[in-house]
């Protein structure tokens, strides 16, 4: 399976890969070891996918390895449920970490010992100040902080206090362990950062074994060192933490010297990718859960029908740099179409049905016509479509007063029914309200299959489904979750939500082969778009999600008017 958009043999080019090549070439590292380090406190989204594809992709490209490591240092926010969904998501994206599944919590004992080591070295101390006091004495971005009154405690007292913290003698928040670095540093992260805090809450994996927990800064780099990670890749907001990351590596007897590199996080137009905002969308029910097909979460994209290969391709196409970016949703959609065009079988489905009666087709008669499953893939074979006197076509494929360039049906005009016959519309039947309820047409028996023996041409080909054989179903049409490229750029992002992001069509008519497909199956409804079977689907009532519409140059022309 080809998962790359780059030509065979062509190497991806970015600053991370430059560094990796140099390190491998110079022998600084003998083999590459990366890691993907999610915190199990939420669902993964496409921004994480970029990181996953980078870290696992690097390992694949350079014959290295990528570990999956949960950064589970904060028991008050983390849950087992997320640990499971994250693993599922990474696997679904197509990556395998083998036996290399780790948890920062696996290292709690080692981390604790290193904390004591720092105390013994006179490089860490117990601070009795409250959180507010610590904040107040940290200084501001432009002014240095003040030393804590507890900063010069003896090693013995620090050790005693730290052990009693561990033993559970103190209340949460009453004391913390701080690294003794420099309260006047221009980098706020270096102003005696807190590295251990008291948290009397059970941990999803270690239970009540601990009541003190290391924080991110004290756990991440050391975990990298324990695993002998060579390149610890994270996003730009951690660049300010790198001096601290390095400080621990230099001041602790760690078994390896990993290095941290930062790249800019992914931003995509017409959606949001921050955990906080995603949670709000779910909690305030602007969407129907984490896997709502409009969500940029991995589970949402999966339910929407986005193929993992398209996501991988997308992640590679956006590149890896340090500059702020806003990738147009159009690029993601392009990747999805490109993939699905090659893999999705074609089907006929009428979303907004309009009945058609073929007056000169014998009543009670029916026949089957051959249709190609995927013109892009001969291996996909063919199928048979039932045809009869009464059909449904798309309402949008008929116009009473059509403009000149309208190639579809109108009274007096002839079009081709895909894989079937040429038909000519004779009359549009209306009800009392003046709405068109039915089209009376005639067909040309000589055009069976869709070609006229006399060589005459028709401008349009439309899709259809035999009324007697059609399977009714529900089709969910999705549009951008937000109506503007940058939600919240001028005010509240909630106000930018697209009220029409979901349209449910409950009276769609599907060709028979569309019934009974497995949830997740992807098909193309010809002339309309790619659709995926929703988990809500049942053989009695199929439900399809529109993954992405086909490119539509006719709609584009219409929009210009």
* By CB under 7 A, residue 479 contacts RNA: no
User: Is 352 annotated as catalytic?
Assistant: no
Choice between 338 and 390, CB closer to RNA: 338
Catalytic residue, chosen from 4, 17, 21, 39, is 39
Choice between 74 and 222, CB closer to RNA: 74
Q: How far is the CB of 539 from RNA (least distance, A)?
A: 25
Q: Measured between alpha carbons, how far is 184 from 167 in angstroms, rounded to an integer? A: 33
User: Is 152 annotated as catalytic?
Assistant: no
- Residue 199 in 3-state DSSP? coil
- Residue 538 in 3-state DSSP? coil
Q: Measured between alpha carbons, how far is 145 from 138 in angstroms, rounded to an integer? A: 4
Choice between 65 and 105, CB closer to RNA: 105
Please check whether residue 398 is in contact with residue 414, taking contact to mean a CB–CB distance below 8 angstroms.
Answer: no
Please check whether residue 223 is in contact with residue 104, taking contact to mean a CB–CB distance below 8 angstroms.
Answer: yes
Q: How many residues bind RNA (CB under 7 A)?
A: 91
* By CB under 7 A, residue 561 contacts RNA: no
* By CB under 7 A, residue 355 contacts RNA: no
* By CB under 7 A, residue 134 contacts RNA: yes
Sheet of strand 65-70: strand arrangement: 33-36, 65-70, 101-103
Among the listed residues 285, 324, 492, 518, the single contact to RNA using CB under 7 A: 324
Helices (H), 121-215: 131-137, 155-166
Question: By CB under 7 A, which span of 44-52, 212-220, 288-296, 500-508 interacts with RNA?
Answer: 212-220
Residues 171-200 that bind RNA (CB under 7 A): 172-176, 186-189, 193-194, 197-198
* By CB under 7 A, residue 35 contacts RNA: no
Catalytic residue, chosen from 163, 257, 265, 426, is 265
Please check whether residue 33 is in contact with residue 337, taking contact to mean a CB–CB distance below 8 angstroms.
Answer: no
Question: By CB under 7 A, which span of 112-120, 202-210, 402-410, 511-519 interacts with RNA?
Answer: 402-410
Neighbour-count burial of 517, counting CB atoms closer than 10 A to its CB (0-12 exposed, 13-18 middle, 19+ buried): middle
User: Is 275 annotated as catalytic?
Assistant: yes
* By CB under 7 A, residue 554 contacts RNA: yes
Catalytic residue, chosen from 138, 151, 275, 352, is 275
Which residues lie across from 178 on neighbouring strands?
125, 194
- Residue 548 in 3-state DSSP? strand
Among the listed residues 206, 264, 388, 498, the single contact to RNA using CB under 7 A: 264
Among the listed residues 33, 54, 57, 71, the single contact to RNA using CB under 7 A: 71
Neighbour-count burial of 330, counting CB atoms closer than 10 A to its CB (0-12 exposed, 13-18 middle, 19+ buried): exposed
Choice between 234 and 292, CB closer to RNA: 234
Which residues lie across from 231 on neighbouring strands?
259
Among the listed residues 140, 283, 454, 499, the single contact to RNA using CB under 7 A: 140
Known catalytic residues are 39, 265, 275
């Amino acid at each position: 399976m080809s998962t790359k958009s780059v030509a065979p043999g062509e190497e991806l080019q970015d600053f991370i890969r430059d560094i990796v090549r140099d390190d491998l070439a110079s022998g600084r590292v003998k083999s590459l070891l990366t890691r993907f380090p999610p915190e199990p406190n939420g669902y993964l989204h496409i921004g994480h996918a970029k990181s996953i594809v980078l870290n696992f992709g690097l390992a694949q490209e350079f014959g290295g390895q990528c570990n999956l490591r949960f950064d589970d240092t904060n028991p008050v926010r983390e849950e087992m449920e997320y640990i499971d969904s994250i693993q599922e998501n990474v696997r679904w994206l197509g990556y395998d970490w083998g036996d290399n599944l780790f948890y920062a919590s696996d290292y709690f004992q080692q981390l604790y010992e290193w904390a004591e080591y720092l105390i013994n070295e006179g490089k860490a101390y117990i601070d009795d100040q409250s959180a507010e006091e610590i904040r107040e004495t940290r200084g501001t971005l432009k002014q240095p902080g003040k030393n804590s009154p507890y900063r010069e405690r003896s090693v013995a007292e620090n050790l005693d206090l730290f052990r009693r913290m561990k033993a559970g003698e103190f209340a949460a928040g009453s004391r913390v362990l701080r690294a003794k670095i420099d309260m006047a540093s221009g980098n706020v992260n270096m102003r005696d950062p807190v590295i251990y805090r008291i948290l009397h809450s059970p941990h999803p994996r270690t239970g009540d074994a601990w009541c003190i927990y290391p924080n991110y800064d004290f756990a991440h780099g050391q975990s990298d060192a324990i695993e002998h990670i060579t390149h610890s890749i994270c996003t730009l907001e951690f660049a300010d933490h790198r001096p601290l990351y390095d400080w621990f590596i230099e001041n602790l007897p760690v078994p390896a010297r990993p290095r941290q590199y930062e790249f800019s996080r992914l931003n995509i137009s017409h959606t949001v990718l921050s955990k906080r905002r995603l949670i709000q969308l779910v909690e305030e029910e602007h969407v129907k859960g984490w896997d709502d097909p409009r969500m940029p979460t991995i589970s949402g994209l999966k339910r929407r029908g986005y193929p993992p290969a398209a996501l991988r391709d997308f992640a590679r196409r956006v590149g890896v740099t340090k500059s702020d970016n806003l990738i147009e949703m159009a690029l993601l959609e392009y990747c999805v179409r490109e993939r699905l065009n090659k893999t999705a079988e074609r089907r006929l489905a009428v979303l907004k049905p309009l009945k058609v009666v073929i007056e000169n087709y014998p009543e009670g008669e029916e026949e089957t016509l051959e249709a190609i499953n995927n013109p892009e893939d001969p291996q996909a074979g063919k199928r048979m479509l039932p045809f009869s006197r009464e059909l449904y076509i798309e309402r949008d494929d008929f116009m009473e007063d059509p403009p000149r360039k309208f190639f579809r049906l109108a009274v007096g005009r002839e079009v081709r029914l895909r894989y079937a016959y040429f038909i000519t519309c004779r009359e549009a039947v209306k009800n009392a309200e003046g709405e068109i309820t039915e089209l009376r047409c005639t067909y040309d028996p000589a055009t069976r299959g869709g070609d006229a023996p006399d060589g005459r041409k028709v401008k349009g080909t439309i899709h259809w489904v035999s009324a007697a054989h059609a399977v009714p179903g529900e089709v969910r049409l999705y549009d951008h979750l937000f109506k503007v490229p940058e939600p919240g750029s001028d005010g509240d992002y909630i106000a930018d939500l697209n009220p029409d992001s979901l349209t449910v069509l409950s009276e769609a008519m599907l060709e028979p082969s569309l019934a009974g497909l497995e949830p997740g199956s992807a098909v193309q409804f010809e002339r309309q778009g790619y659709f995926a079977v929703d988990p809500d689907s049942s053989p009695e009532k199929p439900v399809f999600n529109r993954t992405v519409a086909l490119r539509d140059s006719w709609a584009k022309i219409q929009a210009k008017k």
